[in-house]
Amino acid sequence: MGSQEVLGQAARLASSGLLMQVLFRLITFVLNAFILRFLSKEIVGVVNVRLTLLYSTTIFLAREAFRRACLSGDTQRDWSQTLNLLWLTVPLGVFWSLFLGWIWLQLLEVPDPNIVPYYGTGVVLFGLSAVVELLGEPFWVLAQAHMFVKLKVVAESLSVILKSILTAFLVLWLPHWGLYIFSLAQVRLTPALPLCFFIFFFPFLRCPNSECSNSLGVSVYDEDSLMTIQTGAFVNWKEAKLTWSFFKQSFLKQILTEGERYVMTFLNVLNFGDQGVYDIVNNLGSLVARLIFQPVEESFYIFFAKVLEREKDAKLQKQEDVAVAAMVLEFLLKLALLAGLTITVFGFAYSQLALDIYGGVMLSSGSGPVLLRSYCIYVLLLAINGVTECFTFAAMSKEEVDRYNFTMLALSFSFLVLSYILTYWCGSVGFILANCFNMAIRITQSLFFIHCYYRGSPYRPLAGLRLSPVLLGVFALSGGITSVSEVFLCCEQGWPARLAHIVVGAFCLGMTLGTVCLTETKLIYFLKTQLGMSRLIDKMA
């Protein structure tokens, strides 16, 4: 499969996944806004920080390394060996669920049962749901590797939406159930995700040949590559060794990803109510990151992993593939920078209004607006880091991955220390400041790798981080206008003034996007030709 064909599939996966996730996430967004009006801050804190951390840690430690290792390389492989390796995620999940569940029940502070009832039941059921979800991991990797766009997005989104709907009904009818509400919704609807994958791939399991492929009408991949069965070792030992390298790194990456929740959980720097407010703001601030940046990162990690060979530098690979990878990386960096700057500039003036609409006075008063404004800066760094690490981890050799683990170790330790210090100094904002610091270090590491990777070639993908002075001036002007508008029109003057504030923001946003279309013509052409956004861009222009 050529690099241009891989690029086309990755672009379709990113754009289609983006559109479908926007729809599903908006539904979940509305349901969560409804749920928040019936719960206390303490219950939100325990569920969204303590129990969700147990679930996400179990899932991440059991599967992250396998995903990164098994998604590398071409789809033409002995998939029976890869699937055998992926099934190891289930016993790993059982181990981590039991071990972490014991820590959550025996070593951590137990919430007051009068305020947050049924904590023990919540720990058990959230750990069980993590193991159940891992049953679909081999099929998830198979779908991702062959770029089944709708299957992955629909399965994941359907699971989230059904869980949110059930939670909303239980909160409305049985609010006194406390953590039972979230535990039952979690354990009852988590099986929906692996079940969707199993139903889709069941014909292949019964009849792994091209006849079954044709019966499903699958045409986005070589129909003989899906379940190529060969004789040989039980697992691919090269993939297994690479998995072990990523597995050592996954501990460190998880600390960086969920570091603030670990500090809150193990060091008790915030009470459960403050944890709840912080987590709500964190989820709201990261909404765009999950909707836009995550699908792009996942899809183009596959693109870079398929186009570039890990054990060779740029000079020893096919120059056509190296050129395409450099072009794509440059445009992705430009896109991430523009999206991050837009969120940062407009987020400052609309944070309080967004929180008031989403969660009412509980969020819009106190530290909520300051938290969300700080998070807007973090989103900018998050966008750039997602693209740079997407390329870096796809291009690194096994030895480079092992060396990078030491850097991640230092970052993890510095993040924990800095989070603890800054939180005592400036409250929950300290978590975001510590995240910004560590994200900046990670970006620097990735930029250095990219610079060295392309140093001996004529390609300079890091040029994607440069913007024209005119565009930077428009961003600054928009930020100034919307900040003045917030002072005079939001948020205590009532809804007529708020609507006027929104109109001002819409005008400034339109002016900014119009300037982007005029100054970044190469990026616009890339989006129109590769990401299937021609209609949207034509309307903007």
When pLDDT is averaged across residues 87-116 and rounded to a whole number, the result is 92
pLDDT in the model for residue 41? 79
* 227, part of any domain: no
- Predicted local confidence at residue 221, as pLDDT: 39
Residues 461 and 481 occupy one common structural domain: no
Name the most confidently modeled range: 159-168, 224-233, 293-302, 327-336. 327-336
Residue 539: predicted pLDDT: 42
360-419 residue pLDDT tens? 777 777 778 899 999 999 999 999 998 998 899 888 887 888 788 778 778 878 888 888
The span from the CA of 284 to the CA of 74, in Å, is 37
DSSP-derived secondary structure for 91-131? HHHHHHHHHHHHHHHHTSPPPPTTTS--HHHHHHHHHHHHH
Which of the four pLDDT bands, split at 50, 70 and 90, describes residue 105? very high
Extract the tokens encoding 401: 């991955």
Q: Could you give the percent of the chain with pLDDT greater than 90?
A: 27
Q: If you average pLDDT over residues 56-65, what whole number do you get? A: 90
Q: What is the mean pLDDT of residues 352-357?
A: 86
With a cut of 70, say whether residue 14 has pLDDT above it: no
* Range 299-320 average pLDDT: 80
In a domain, 418, yes or no: yes
Q: For the segment 419-451, what is each residue's pLDDT rounded down to a tens digit? A: 888 988 888 898 899 889 989 999 999 999 999
* 147-197 pLDDT, tens digit each: 676 677 777 777 777 888 888 888 888 877 878 888 888 888 788 888 888
Last residue of a domain, one of 431, 446, 466: 466
Boundary (domain end) residue, out of 442, 466, 490: 466
Higher-pLDDT residue of 232, 349 = 349
Say whether both 28 and 166 belong to one domain.
Answer: yes
Same domain, residue pair 7 and 109: yes
Q: What's the Cα-to-Cα distance from 466 to each of 5, 98, 227, 337, 520, rounded to whole Å?
A: 28, 49, 44, 9, 11
Report CA Rg, the chain. Answer: 23
* 325 closest CA partner among 460, 174, 126: 460
508 Cβ contact list (under 8 Å, min separation 6): 346, 477, 478, 481, 482
Q: How would residue 307 be classed by pLDDT, with cut points 50, 70 and 90? A: confident
Residues 144 and 271 in one domain: yes
> Could you read off the pLDDT of 503-515 as tens digits, one per residue?
999 999 999 999 9
The answer to whether residue 202 sits within a structural domain is yes
Instruction: Report the half-sphere exposure of 535 (CA within 13 A, side-chain side).
Output: 1
Q: Are residues 368 and 517 in the same domain?
A: no
378 and 285 in a single domain? The answer is: yes
pLDDT at res. 54 = 94
Q: Which helix (H) or strand (E) holds 184?
A: helix 179-189
Global pTM value: 0.70
Q: Do 76 and 162 fall within a single domain? A: yes
pLDDT, tens digit, 9 for 90 and up, residues 446-469: 999 999 888 878 889 999 999 999
Structure confidence at residue 535 (pLDDT) = 42
> What H or E segment, with its residue span, contains residue 437?
helix 429-453
Three-state secondary structure readout of 374-397:
HHHHHHHHHHHHHHHHHHHHHHCC
Give domain status of residue 538, yes or no. no
Note whether 208 and 194 are within 8 A (CB): no
Measured CA distances, 212 to 75, 201, 209, 230, 494 (Å): 18, 10, 6, 18, 61
* 314 & 336 share domain: yes
Specify whether 480 is located in the same domain as 420.
no
Give the range of the structural domain holding residue 500, as residue numbers without chain letter: 476-531
Q: Comparing C-alpha atoms, which of 464, 489, 461 is closest to residue 304?
A: 461
- Is residue 540 domain-resident? no
**How many domains is the chain built from?**
2
Domain C-terminal end among 448, 466, 484: 466
Nearest to 72, CA basis, from 296, 240, 246, 306: 306
Range name among 53-57, 163-167, 216-220, 318-322 with the lowest pLDDT average: 216-220
Contacts of 163 (CB under 8 A, 6+ apart): 185, 186, 189, 190
Same domain, 262 and 198: yes
Q: What is the pLDDT of residue 21?
A: 59
Q: What is the DSSP letter of 463?
A: G
* 471 in any annotated domain: no
**Tens digits of per-residue pLDDT, 253-293?**
777 778 788 888 888 788 888 888 888 888 787 777 767 77
The verdict on 168 and 297 lying in the same domain is yes
What does the alpha-carbon distance between residue 240 and residue 529 come to, in Å, rounded to a whole number? 38
pLDDT, average across residues 328-332:
92
407 and 527 fall within a common domain? no
For residue 252, being part of any structural domain is answered with: yes
The larger pLDDT score, comparing residue 26 to residue 334, is at 334
* Mean pLDDT value across the chain: 81
pLDDT tops 80 at residue 28: no
Return the pLDDT at 4: 59
The amino acid at residue 524 is I
Question: Which of 99-108, 144-153, 167-176, 483-492 shows the lowest per-residue confidence on average (mean pLDDT)?
Answer: 144-153
* Tens-place pLDDT, residues 195-230: 888 888 777 666 555 444 444 444 333 444 444 445
Q: Are 346 and 253 in contact (CB under 8 A)?
A: no
